[in-house]
Structure 1
Amino acid sequence: MKSRDSEPSGARGSSLLSRITLYSPAEVAKALRCSEWWVKEQARKRRIPFTWLGGSYQFTEEHVVEIIRVFEKTPASMTPAPSAARRVPQQRKALPAGSALLVARVPRRAQRAGEPGS
Structure 2
Amino acid sequence: MNAGQQEREQLAYTPEEAAQRLACTESWLRDQAKARKIPWTRISGSVRFTPEHLRWILDHFEVAVRPEPTPKKRRKRASAPKNPDAHTASAGDTPVVSLTAKVPRRRREYQERAAQNGT
Scaled to the shorter chain, the TM-score interval is 0.5 to 0.7
Are residue 37 (structure 1) and residue 24 (structure 2) matched? Answer: no
User: Percent same amino acid at aligned positions?
Assistant: 34
Q: Which runs of 5+ in 1 are unaligned?
A: 1-18, 95-100, 102-118
1:51–1:85 CA distance, 2 compared to 1 (3 A): same
Equivalents in 1 of 2:17, 2:52: separation in Å? 14
Displacement, 1:86?
4.7
Q: Deviations over 1:31-57 (max 9, x none)?
A: 111110000000011111100122221
Aligned residue pair count: 75
Are residue 47 (structure 1) and residue 37 (structure 2) matched? Answer: yes
Where do 1:51-62 residues align within 5 Å?
51-62=41-52
Q: Which runs of 5+ in 2 are unaligned?
A: 1-8, 82-98, 100-119
Displacement, 1:89?
4.5
SS in 1 for 2:20: helix
| Consecutive aligned runs of 4 or more in structure 1 exceeding 6 Å deviation | none
Displacement, 1:88?
2.1
Equivalents in 2 of 1:90, 1:25: separation in Å? 56
Are residue 21 (structure 1) and residue 8 (structure 2) matched? Answer: no
Aligned-residue CA RMSD (Å) = 3.0
Equivalents in 1 of 2:10, 2:22: separation in Å? 20
Are residue 87 (structure 1) and residue 71 (structure 2) matched? Answer: no
AA of the residue aligned to 2:31: E
1:89–1:41 CA distance, 2 compared to 1 (3 A): farther
Equivalents in 2 of 1:57, 1:90: separation in Å? 58
1:86–1:40 CA distance, 2 compared to 1 (3 A): same
1:90–1:64 CA distance, 2 compared to 1 (3 A): farther
Greater Cα radius of gyration, structure 1 or 2: 2
1:50–1:91 CA distance, 2 compared to 1 (3 A): farther
Where do 1:58-77 residues align within 5 Å?
58-77=48-67
